[in-house]
Amino acid sequence: MSHSSKKTILERLDAGEILIGDGGYLFEMERRGYVAAGVWTPDVNVEHPHAVEGLHQEFARAGSNVLQAFAYHAVWSRTEGRNEINESACRIVKKVAAQYNCLWAGGLSPTRIYGQGGSKKDVQEYFKGQAEIFVRHDCDFLIAEYFHSSEEAGWAVEVLKETGKPVLASLCITSQGDFKGVPTDECAVRLVKAGADVIGVNCKFDPQESLKAVAKMKEGLEKAGLKAHLMFQPLGFHCPDADNKHGYLALPENPFALEPRQLTRWDVHKLTRSAYDLGVRYFGGCCGFKAYHIRAISEELEKERGAKAESSDKHQPFKPMYSSTFGHMERNEEYWMNMKPASGRPFSPSYSKPVKSTLNP
């Protein structure tokens, strides 16, 4: 099948299709031993390309319609080797996307320049440089994501629109507003006015809070008489105790003791249904989302999508299980969806106090 014959993401969304992106690469690669927390750079694309390919494949098998190049993010400061890393990232993602008939996208994220007070011109110049490689590799669309400032995100969208590719824009904000105090509904309006085709929320806050933020965005668009598709790519960790500025980043457990907060597949089922009912049609996950979480999205929407994830062949959660020492266990959907999983940690509390930021108290 020739690439040009593929329907674009917008054609598909406009036609009412539900699309599923992929999950989080950084946390999973850190746990697999290929990415260093703190530095967080995707050298693995060059050092162990098979490992990246393997994770892309897991997502594709789990039902992802879209894979994202595991490229170097603007936010990381080191510059040596970046081109080589991103070249490799593009080659790998294209290969797996072709293999599984997925779309693929390149992503932009917040810049340090903006944080340091850089001008719109400087920031946009930077974004142009970032986007070039994805366009040269003929990505299917571009995503501006992880933005905690709607202003910077808007600037990114403007740059990305000039490439002629569809543009998705996703903010890391609560239902209250962005990092600079712009209310969430106004953030939505700003993104769409800047040209974004799909807008939404990803990462950093409790998934329930992120969902509220998407709802607020939808309200904003409705009030302004604007239209855009909605996307939702939440964090893979429960953090209702996070502060509304730094989210899970300020939790004392970040990044090496977040395990008890990890979403179950059933948490994802419930989130996905709520997001779908709200009108979200582009789904995915961010930090902490693994292949089985993506599969949970796919399985929750199996009827609506009329499609089944490849790895759902390895998933029969409601079939009785047997163990030689234990015997049969029959557990149905109701059982799992109402499960309040115990932590096995009686010395641990439910909530932590976020630590103070050294930058933005």
Residues 118-157 that bind a second copy (CB under 8 A): 148
Helix ranges (DSSP H) in 195-282: 207-224, 265-278
Q: Which of 13, 20, 35, 275 binds a second copy (CB under 8 A)?
A: 35
Minimum CB distance to a second copy smaller for 52 or for 198 = 52
What DSSP element (H or E) covers 329?
A: strand 327-329
CA distance 102 to 94: 9
Amino acid at 191: L
| Residue in 15, 117, 256, 306 binding a second copy, rule: CB under 8 A | 256
Examine residue 332 and tell whether it contacts a second copy (CB under 8 A). Answer: no
Judged by CB under 8 A, the stretch of 7-15, 85-93, 137-145, 250-258 that binds a second copy is: 250-258
d(CA 307, CA 251): 38
Hey, which residues between 94 and 113 contact a second copy (CB under 8 A)? 110, 112
Q: Report d(CA 98, CA 345) in Å as an integer.
A: 44
Residue 58, interface with a second copy (CB under 8 A)?
Answer: yes
CA neighbor of 300 nearest in space, from 317, 314, 325: 317
Using DSSP, state whether 77 is helix, strand or coil.
Answer: coil
Q: How wide is the angle at C-alpha 259 spanned by C-alphas 258 and 261, nearest 5°? A: 75
Residue 6 neighbours by CB distance under 10 Å = 15
Per CB under 8 A, the segment of 117-125, 126-134, 225-233, 239-247 that binds a second copy is: 239-247
**Binding residue for a second copy, selected from 3, 222, 257, 279, defined by CB under 8 A:** 257
Residues 175-194 that bind a second copy (CB under 8 A): 179
Q: Which is nearer to a second copy, 281 or 290 (CB)?
A: 290
Q: Residue 268: how many CB atoms within 10 A of its CB? A: 26
Task: Report the site for a second copy in 340-359 (rule: CB under 8 A).
Answer: 340-353, 355, 357-359
239 annotated as ligand-binding? no
Residue (217 or 251) nearer to a second copy, CB: 251
Nearest residue to 275 via CA among 53, 22, 9, 19? 19
Q: Give least dist CB 304 to a second copy, A.
A: 21
What is the separation of C-alpha 12 from the centre of its chain, rounded to a whole number of angstroms? 19
Site for a second copy contains 264 (CB under 8 A): yes
CB of 192: closest distance to a second copy in angstroms? 24
| One of 277, 303, 323, 334 touching a second copy (CB under 8 A) | 323
| Gap between the Cα atoms of 178 and 331, Å rounded | 42
- Applying CB under 8 A, the span of 98-106, 127-135, 157-165, 242-250 interacting with a second copy comes to 242-250
Q: Which residues are known binding-site members for Zn(2+)? A: 203, 286-287
